[in-house]
Structure 1
Amino acid sequence: MQRLGGAVKDHYPVVVLGAGPAGLTAAYELFKQGMQSIVLEKADKVGGISRTEVYKGYRFDIGGHRFFTKVDAVQKFWKEILGDEFIKVPRLSRIYYQGKFYDYPLSLFNTLRNLGIAQSFLILVSYLEAKLKARLGLRREPESFEEWVIDCFGERLYRTFFKTYTEKVWGIPCSKIRADWAAQRIQGMSLKRAVINAVFGSQNAKSLIKEFDYPILGPGMMWERCQEILDSNGSPVHLHTEVVRVERDGKRITRVIAKQGDRMLELTGDQFISSLPVTALLRKMHPAPPAPVLEAAKGLKYRDFLIVSLIIDQDNLFPDNWIYIHSPEFKVGRIQNFKNWSPAMVPDEGKTCLGMEYFCSEGDATWEMTEPELIKLASREAVDLGLVDKLSLIQDGTVIRQHKAYPVYDGEYRKHLKVIQEYLETFENLQTVGRNGMHRYNNQDHSMLTAMLAVKNILGEDHNLWDVNTERSYHEEFTRDEMKPQESPTQAAQLEPAAS
């Protein structure tokens, strides 16, 4: 690495932007193929939204990350990095609605007891009405989340369990959210299947997973170990390093300029992989992309969120990994119990740590609250929900803010993303990967899969990352082939999924 004219200049075969799961997976797969790379990350730690934050010895998972996949290549990656440093965690979560807790997945008797016979009967009638309208052709193809859920479950169940929580998460009416998101996140579910599961158990129908792997010290442990491997094998991961300009010449990226403290890095490369938010990548390009592309980038939206982590002087509050708060009178959207992910996340076995998750947007009233105000709000809500006996048991807390956590699937996103995709596909040596790199609400394993295919492309294969089958990769009910990329018969993307 040379220092010329006040800037550090160097060349790498591959320059990777972003050290989340997608960026680090790409760098690690390149390392295994004997190819050197450099990874640039603005934050102070790796992992992106899959990082582990630490406060006074307490560890926090940003959003909750179950290590479960049907993609054998991803499973192999995880085991290769961490080996036996996983624990098996039973999956348990519930829904809080109107003062009562509902089992998730549904338990028939629990649901009937909470709703009552009359309300349950009305939900069933509403469901049958929706199915009859569909059979008679009286409904059009659903375009919004609201229409999609009503078609599947009926209007009464939609208003009971889907509407309030979804609008809390996204901050916009369900009628303004694309049906794409619903089809992606709730694929294959139906009231009929839910009832079969509730009555007979999972042996008679596909069901949600019952347990999952989890790194002993949280998901960030995976990516910190990956960073160590890369750093010690000639593929450095630079933290506190912000990409300020991505230079292009025609159809090729030529150079990346990054700021690292008081020095500048000027990096050239043969290939470039970006997991930066695609909107940020386009804004950093020089010369600037065409005006229609920049306008499309302005049209894409994100949802932020923050976690208020509370340290509580009780050893056992509730058994769930997390609880979904559907009741609109509470601002909190979801509550994690970190001790139930891994006991090692909490250094004092006599205490519990809760992560109170608030979905918001930068600049809104919740985001602008001070840390003491947020801790006070979260503490009061934890007590009012009946999860903590009294305020005096809450001994400490901290706030973690996460920008651009979720790409928003509003009514305009598909049109804007098409413009951006078509522009990015013109580049010969640039690939975008991961959730933010492709503006897709995917899970960790799918982000990793896009990175693996990007590396295969660098090695001479031909995969269109935008064709990877995202529609079913989110669900824990898919068959053997549904996590594979969409391929033509001549392609040979052999990322075989694990056996069911």
Structure 2
Amino acid sequence: MVPPPATTGDAPRLVILGAGVCGLYAALTALERGAAVTLVEKESRPGGLAAGQQHGENFYDLGVHMLHAFDREVFDTCAAAMGDERHEVALHAEIKWAGNRYHYPLRGRDILRGIPPLTLARCLAGLFLAEIESRLARREDARDAEEALVQLYGAPLYEFFFEEFTHRYWGLHPRDLSAEFIRRKMPRLSAVDVFKNLLQKLRLANPRDTTEGALRFETLHYSATGAETLPRALAREIEARGGTILLDSEVTAVRHGGGRVTQVTTSGGATLPCEACLSTLPVPLLLAGLDPPPPRAVRESAARLRYKPIAVHGLLVAKPRCMDAHYTYFRDRRFHRVGEPKNAGLRVTPADHTVLIVETTCEEGDADWTGEGLADLLADLEAEGLCSPVEVVEHHLLRARHGYPVFSRGFEPHLAAAEDFLGTFRNLRSTGRQGAFTYPNMHGAMRMGARAAEQLLAAAPADLPGA
């Protein structure tokens, strides 16, 4: 990145709500364009869901967070900020499938070995029929995620692979999830895509609009201190360029008038006048902070937007290694993914110990959220041969209330009502995973932040000082 132009008294003042990677990258983008930038972050460290925590001499990630190089501009900026702290990692991910561990995403031969022959025949026949029907019949749009999955993969594969796991992960049956969830979130099985691609080449199937899954071969970027390095490095770069980051500061009010945000106040007593405001807060929290408040109908719609909490158990384990992969997905355990970041280069003390990052989705107040379910979780880890309870020498519970947007059936009009109201403000953008109620990966969230910052700073001259 080239040094930004120095800000002046006439520089537009941009206040960014939230210092996750989306907000941090938005701040760098705005500083490059000469804005005066202040970020407001309620936590004691930047990073949001990509933040890590230090306990003693070790670092624990809030889930698996590694940098991709798909967006070259984003990657180059992040790599420059991380400097020598960054190192490359060849992705090694697995899924526990039919009693064995296989490469993730599943390869064709793994699907064949993992599904009993008669079940496999039924699944392939169902997939074939679903594709033929999509080609020859005009079908109504799916009413929910269950119908969308059946239309996409056929009933046998849906019942065998997707139904139970989706229900357990989200706490909602696929019938209670929106069909939009399948288009936005559900990754493809690469083995299924091979078969689908064959059908498409034979003109027996139409291309489908679903999100792409993980690549088979991929280089990731990580650090000896884990995920915390990237947001810390971006924050350091922001402050070096004249930006301000207010940590331990919760937004208490977003004041507005005449269709413009005019001021943000914080729990730390700061009053921040602004010409533009970029929010990465969960949509309901942003709307709840507006002063004066939104119309009642908008507030009621915001209350219908749900986020899935996550609880991550960081374990220091008294053994050199628990598994070969960087992370492994599990379909029938209390946890859905276990990461061992030491395998990706995390520094662990003592050196003959390792760290496990055990991810669960939950609800506030349940046993996973409070940590009361730890004994059952450790029993599952032991059953998987990863570690025994006596080998766990430290346990740290990391939590996030707003982990993932929940695309429950019928959420669309409520989100539209919130977005339509927020769209009436000329100098406000709500973006990122929580702020746009969507599912970007880490580099995708940073790109969203950059675009929002660019849009705000390209506002009509009358909205900015010095015009």
CA–CA separation in structure 1 for the residues paired with 2:27 and 2:319: 42
User: Shift in Å at residue 275 of structure 1?
Assistant: 0.9
Tell me if 1:155 matches 2:166. Answer: no
Which 10-residue stretch deviates more, 296-305 or 176-185? Answer: 176-185
1:450 to 426, 448, 457: 448
Q: State the partner residue of 1:336.
A: 339
User: Shift in Å at residue 387 of structure 1?
Assistant: 2.1
CA–CA separation in structure 1 for the residues paired with 2:410 and 2:196: 37
Normalized against structure 2, the TM-score is what?
A: 0.86
Contact 1:306 1:357 in 2 (8 A): yes
Indicate how the Cα distance of structure 1 residues 87 and 436 shifts in structure 2: closer, same or farther if over 3 A, else same.
same
Q: State the partner residue of 1:45.
A: 45
CA–CA separation in structure 2 for the residues paired with 1:117 and 1:280: 50
Tell me if 1:358 matches 2:332. Answer: no
Which 10-residue stretch deviates more, 66-75 or 434-443? Answer: 66-75
Q: State the partner residue of 2:203.
A: none
Q: Look up the SS of the partner of 2:169 in the other structure.
A: helix
Letter in 2 for 1:99: G
Unaligned ranges ≥5, structure 1: 1-10, 198-205, 463-500
Q: State the partner residue of 1:482.
A: none
Q: State the partner residue of 1:241.
A: 249
Q: In the TM superposition, what are the counterparts of 1:50-61 in structure 2 within 5 Å? A: 50-61=50-61
Q: State the partner residue of 1:251.
A: 259
Q: State the partner residue of 1:223.
A: 231
Q: State the partner residue of 2:384.
A: 385
Q: Look up the SS of the partner of 1:331 in the other structure.
A: coil
Q: State the partner residue of 1:467.
A: none
Which 10-residue stretch deviates more, 396-405 or 136-145? Answer: 136-145
Q: State the partner residue of 2:293.
A: 288
Give the alignment's Cα RMSD to 1 decimal.
2.4
Indicate how the Cα distance of structure 1 residues 196 and 436 shifts in structure 2: closer, same or farther if over 3 A, else same.
closer
User: Shift in Å at residue 342 of structure 1?
Assistant: 2.2
Contact 1:19 1:46 in 2 (8 A): yes
Q: In the TM superposition, what are the counterparts of 1:53-452 in structure 2 within 5 Å? A: 53-97=53-97, 99-137=99-137, 139-186=139-186, 191-194=191-194, 207-260=215-268, 264-327=269-332, 330-344=333-347, 346-367=348-369, 369=370, 371=371, 373-388=372-387, 390-452=388-450
Q: Look up the SS of the partner of 1:26 in the other structure.
A: helix
CA–CA separation in structure 1 for the residues paired with 2:253 and 2:409: 31
Letter in 2 for 1:265: A
Indicate how the Cα distance of structure 1 residues 229 and 108 shifts in structure 2: closer, same or farther if over 3 A, else same.
closer
% identity of equivalent residues? 26
Letter in 1 for 2:121: F
Letter in 2 for 1:155: A
Letter in 2 for 1:361: E
Q: Look up the SS of the partner of 2:402 in the other structure.
A: strand
User: Shift in Å at residue 97 of structure 1?
Assistant: 4.2
Contact 2:85 2:229 in 1 (8 A): no
CA–CA separation in structure 1 for the residues paired with 2:107 and 2:448: 36
User: Shift in Å at residue 190 of structure 1?
Assistant: 6.5
User: Shift in Å at residue 281 of structure 1?
Assistant: 0.8
CA–CA separation in structure 1 for the residues paired with 2:138 and 2:119: 25
Which 10-residue stretch deviates more, 411-420 or 156-165? Answer: 156-165
Contact 1:247 1:253 in 2 (8 A): yes
Q: State the partner residue of 2:208.
A: none
Normalized against structure 1, the TM-score is what?
A: 0.81
Q: Look up the SS of the partner of 2:221 in the other structure.
A: strand
User: Shift in Å at residue 56 of structure 1?
Assistant: 2.3
CA–CA separation in structure 1 for the residues paired with 2:41 and 2:67: 23
Q: State the partner residue of 2:205.
A: none
Contact 1:375 1:399 in 2 (8 A): no
The CA deviation string for residues 352-397 of structure 1, in whole angstroms up to 9 with x for no partner, is 2111111012133432x3x4x3432321110012222x33222221
Letter in 2 for 1:291: R
Unaligned ranges ≥5, structure 2: 1-10, 198-213, 461-467
Indicate how the Cα distance of structure 1 residues 44 and 249 shifts in structure 2: closer, same or farther if over 3 A, else same.
same
The CA deviation string for residues 73-109 of structure 1, in whole angstroms up to 9 with x for no partner, is 2122212312343222122222224533343222344
Indicate how the Cα distance of structure 1 residues 312 and 415 shifts in structure 2: closer, same or farther if over 3 A, else same.
same
Contact 1:310 1:375 in 2 (8 A): no
Q: Look up the SS of the partner of 2:281 in the other structure.
A: coil
